[in-house]
Amino acid sequence: MGNEKETPFVTAFLLMLKLFNYPLPGNIGDLFSLCQRLSHTMHLSSYSLDMIMDHNPRSYKSGNSDHRNTYDFIIVGGGTAGSLVATRLLDTKNKYKILILEAGSEPTWLTHSPFFNLFNWNNNDTTWGYYSSPQKGACIACRKKKVKYVQGKALGGTMNVGWNVYSRGNPLDYAAWVEATGDSSWSYEKSIKWFKKTENYRGKFDDFSSHGYSQTSTIKVTAQGIQPLVKEWLEGATHLKLNTTDPNDYQTQSLLKKEIWRKNLKITRFAQVNKIVFDSKHYAKGVIYRRNHQDIEVHANKEVILAAGVFNTPKLLMLSGIGPSQHLRDIGIKVKKNLEHVGQNLADQPTTFFGPVTVVHDKTFLPRRNLTYSTIIQYYVNQSGILGWDMLSGLGYYSTPSSQSPDHPNIAVTLMPMGVDPDTHKVVNTALSMKHGYMEKFLRDHKDNDAVWLAVTLARPASRGSVRLKNDDPHSHPVIDPNYFMEKEDVTNIAEGMTLVQSLTNTPQWSQVDAKLVDTQFPGCEKFKLKSLPYYECVAQHFTLSIGNIGGTCRMGKTAEDSVVNSKLLVHKVKRLRIVDASVVPTLPNGGTGTAVMMIAERAADMITDKWTHEVARHRDKSDSGSDE
């Protein structure tokens, strides 16, 4: 950049930035509520506009003005998986008529900057506002001992609030899927084809056999390296003789943007699907959704595709009478099909923070120092500067000694270059729903320090939880219990992960930036020796959060006795009902579930196209059995 000639426009732009280079007035709390009010106003306007259009359909000039109620495919949820499947089905020559029903609307403008994205986490217009039930051995420092679940409620889904990390996981993760399903096509080697399909790789580890390079792909993957401390991160790991290979991140784009004007796609926003409708032969023939206080029934000629996410897909199945029969009876829902595994097997990667580790001046993001008019303008005009930093800038995987699986890491560590200033506790308390008092006390002596935090994630937890219905009201939140640390080995493993991080920050590479772990003990863990294993266990049990890598609630498997869907993602015991979202993963990959979900969605789109291309041929032969399994 330094060699490039400055145009008059660039000179004027840089001058303007200098003029505006002073901090915002007020504190971070004011900024939180200002952002929230602004985005709520935008959300309300968008809702009102939709409702006006509903009453005057002819004035709706987009390609979405189709008001029929029968489609080829109905996709429930326009999130990560739903929007990708729709995009691929539209790419075929078949001219399928597709309806996407999305409970939310558009993602907010806050989504664009990784830092401002944190402000989305409390936005009840664009997230579902879910919390877990109180945890017994975890989340002690969280409000009501509940973990906060950030689930996107807008086109683009949870990816809108995500960390931007593209990480597929370990081949052995997918070997477990092969074992669960008995279907070898789910192996990592065979799945590469679908990973590549989504990827437009521009990273540093070129390899045509494992990366996708198509410019028309949906996800642009670039190598990390622009941020300070990533160098120390990589060199410190090399010092510990750990591998440093293939770091990557992705930049989310709205997958559907270019599809929105197609005539055969209709996207209905503010449409919460509350029931799947079946005919007498157990074919999913459509859904009922609620919009503008009205219940509307729509039908699918071919399939109903569920992509409502890891909590709402099992919720919708149970509301429709498909789930554990005793539970459904207990809350007064008529059982359509008993499927014991709906809502079971919830796997979530518990995460805690190691740090803060203070470092030399000006190496990290300090909101009070770096959140200025000029950095905001620079980011929104030019997509550059400190607000473009990924909040998770370095990523590493590690096998703990207790796991006895050196080739299959069970810990993921991510570097977060966020300094500590007098408002940090407010950001943490609000974003992570922490109980008042803990962070205030913990950070009391560390103000205006450049620092990093290292998120330590138990990537392959042994504990399993569940999602259940609270009652038969579709608008009630589901009862979510991740059962964190119910298996003792989970606490031991995460604490061992923290010990590794400690040795990483003690390497000569980190000494060069004067890295020092603060010597204040986490409130509630004072009785343990700082930096000891029991101390780290205590921190993990107090300061527990979900990093959003969640799955398993409609797991894929062999039969109705061990799962909810088969390896073709079709729901057992009924017909023409498919699930394509994070709920189907049988076990969590140790990478990001979003990355795995995109691969699943790519595959699902191919399965659907294959099935219906053959179905047409079969129909011609008059041999349609109508059976899915």
Ligand X SMILES: Cc1cc2nc3c(=O)[nH]c(=O)nc-3n(C[C@H](O)[C@H](O)[C@H](O)COP(=O)(O)OP(=O)(O)OC[C@H]3O[C@@H](n4cnc5c(N)ncnc54)[C@H](O)[C@@H]3O)c2cc1C
| Contacting positions for ligand X (CB under 6 A) | 76-82, 101-104, 150-154, 157-159, 161-165, 272-273, 307-310, 312, 316, 548-549, 581-582, 592-595, 597
Nearest to 316 by CA among 325, 304, 308: 308
Cβ neighbour number for residue 46 with a 10 Å cutoff: 17
- Which amino acid, residue 401? P
Please tell me whether 158 is known to bind a ligand. Answer: yes
State the distance between the two ends of the chain, measured CA to CA, in whole angstroms.
Answer: 58
Q: Distance between CA 315 and CA 313 in Å, rounded? A: 5
Nearer to ligand X among residue 151 and residue 566 (C-beta): 151
The minimum distance between CB 267 and ligand X, in angstroms, equals: 11
**Of 290 and 447, which CB lies nearer to ligand X in the complex structure?**
290
Q: Which is nearer to ligand X, 250 or 612 (CB)?
A: 250
Q: How far is the CB of 416 from ligand X (least distance, A)?
A: 12
Dihedral sign (CA 171, 173, 179, 183)? negative
Residue nearest to ligand X (CB): 79
Q: Among residues 432 and 574, whose Cβ is nearest to ligand X?
A: 432
Nearest-approach distance from CB 280 to ligand X, in angstroms: 25
**Residue with tokens 């009630």, as numbered in its chain:** 476
> Smallest gap, in angstroms, from Cβ of residue 581 to ligand X?
3
Shortest distance (Å) from residue 614 CB to ligand X: 26
Question: Which helix (H) or strand (E) is 547 found in, with range?
Answer: strand 545-551
Alpha-carbon distance of 210 to 87, in angstroms, equals 23
Chain centre distance of CA 526 = 34
Residue 252, annotated as binding a ligand: no
Q: Give the separation between CA 271 and CA 163, rounded to whole angstroms.
A: 27
Q: How far is the CB of 254 from ligand X (least distance, A)?
A: 12
Tell me which residue of 519, 501, 518, 515 sits closest to 359, measured CA to CA. 515
Q: Which alpha helices (H) appear in 320-459, and where do they start and end?
A: 325-330, 367-370, 373-382, 424-432, 438-442
Nearer CB in complex with ligand X: 182/225 = 225
Per the listing, tokens 């699907």 go with 273
d(CA 98, CA 279): 20
- CB of 266: closest distance to ligand X in angstroms? 14
Around Cβ 564, how many Cβ atoms within 10 Å? 31
Q: Which residues define the annotated binding site?
A: 158, 273
Q: Which residues define the annotated binding site for FAD?
A: 158, 273
